[in-house]
């Protein structure tokens, strides 16, 4: 493991698109890219200027706040209101980026928006015939179609340069998801599909010197997660939560994983692979905002073996 030092100009001059950057992992990734000096085009549906385009969550976070955070951390944040299920809006985004920047260096497909549709634990593990079909199909639209549409219009901008990086953000590594049932048929399919998208798109990008990686955060302390446990980032350790939450991570951690990949001159070694933020932290040496290196996927793997574990050993 290398000693990690935050370099505020590591990605200066590079252009990144974080699709789905309003909150959660997307905001954390955009912020980390800003820490490294990148220009970050932040897309999402919820804007402080109102309008009909709004996230299914109907929350207060806005895409402008994310862009301002990027700029405040040393990068250049640009907010773009985009519904990634709307082909015309995504095509227009690609045209605008092409006109202003010519090409991009990093594309992060983080779009999700189906957290409410998957339900709470009492709703999990129901057979497909007992699940609301409209909700299930909406999960697939939000979790898979958005990624395909975004790649269709934006990858042509990525392959204009050698060494481009595409990151597909999902929940669970390919190894974990291949062995574990994930909540419901629809949720399971969505998350497994995104891992496969990185594999298939990596096959296509290879000829252009590009790299595609599937990346999963661990148990993420998103705005919605902290709110659900009645805590904030400053006192999250006081949450009355399952044991695994003690190995949770801030959204910035997965963002630093993206930065580490983008800065790696040999990033092609990760092409078509499925990795977690915790795994990459051990390779590159980056840390979360509290200086720790949480690895909740390793914690869950070891927990499944019936071992008595101390969560702090996984930070």
| Partners of 107 in the β-ladder | 17, 166
- The distance of Cα 302 from the centroid of its chain, to the nearest Å, equals 24
CA distance 7 to 17: 20
> Environment class of residue 126 by beta-carbon count within 10 Å: exposed (0-12), middle (13-18) or buried (19+)?
middle
d(CA 29, CA 258): 7
Both tokens assigned to 224: 């919605």
With beta carbons less than 8 A apart as the criterion, state whether 261 and 195 touch.
no
As a whole number of angstroms, the distance between CA 192 and CA 212 comes to 15
Query: What are the chain's domains?
Result: 15-314 (3.40.50.720)
Q: Could you list the pLDDT tens digit for every one of the 315 residues in the chain? A: 456 788 999 999 999 999 999 999 999 999 999 999 999 999 999 999 876 677 888 888 999 999 999 999 999 999 999 999 999 999 999 999 999 999 999 999 999 998 889 888 888 999 999 999 999 999 999 999 999 999 999 999 999 999 999 999 999 999 999 999 999 999 999 999 999 999 999 999 999 999 999 999 999 999 999 999 999 999 999 999 999 999 999 999 999 999 999 999 999 999 999 999 999 999 999 999 999 999 999 998 888 887 788 989 999
């Amino acid at each position: 493991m290398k000693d990690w030092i935050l370099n505020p100009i590591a990605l200066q001059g590079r252009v990144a698109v974080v699709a789905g950057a309003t909150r959660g992992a997307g905001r954390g990734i955009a912020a980390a890219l800003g820490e490294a000096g990148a220009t970050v085009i932040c897309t999402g549906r919820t804007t402080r200027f109102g309008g009909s385009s709004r996230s299914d969550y109907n929350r207060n976070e806005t895409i402008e706040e994310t862009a301002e955070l990027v700029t405040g951390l040393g990068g250049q944040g640009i907010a773009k209101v985009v519904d990634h299920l709307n082909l015309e809006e995504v095509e227009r985004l690609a045209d605008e980026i092409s006109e202003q920047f010519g090409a991009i260096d990093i594309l992060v497909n983080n779009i999700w928006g189906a957290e409410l549709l998957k339900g709470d634990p009492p709703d999990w593990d129901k057979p497909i015939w007992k699940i609301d079909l409209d909700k299930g199909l909406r999960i697939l639209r939000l979790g898979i179609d958005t990624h395909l549409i975004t790649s269709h219009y934006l990858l042509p901008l990525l392959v204009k340069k050698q060494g481009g990086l595409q990151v597909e953000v999902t929940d669970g590594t390919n190894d974990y998801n291949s062995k574990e049932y994930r909540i419901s048929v629809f949720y399971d399919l969505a998350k497994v599909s995104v891992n496969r998208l990185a594999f298939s798109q990596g096959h296509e990008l290879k000829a252009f010197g590009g790299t595609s990686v599937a990346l999963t955060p661990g148990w993420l302390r998103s705005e919605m997660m902290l709110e659900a446990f009645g805590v904030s980032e400053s006192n999250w350790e006081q949450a009355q939560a399952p044991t695994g939450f003690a190995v949770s991570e801030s959204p910035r951690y997965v963002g630093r994983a993206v930065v580490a990949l983008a800065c790696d001159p040999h990033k092609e070694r990760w092409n078509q692979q499925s990795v977690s933020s915790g795994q990459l932290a051990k390779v590159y040496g980056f840390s979360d905002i509290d200086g720790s290196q949480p690895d909740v996927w390793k914690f869950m793997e070891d927990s499944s073996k019936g071992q008595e574990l101390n969560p702090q050993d996984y930070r």
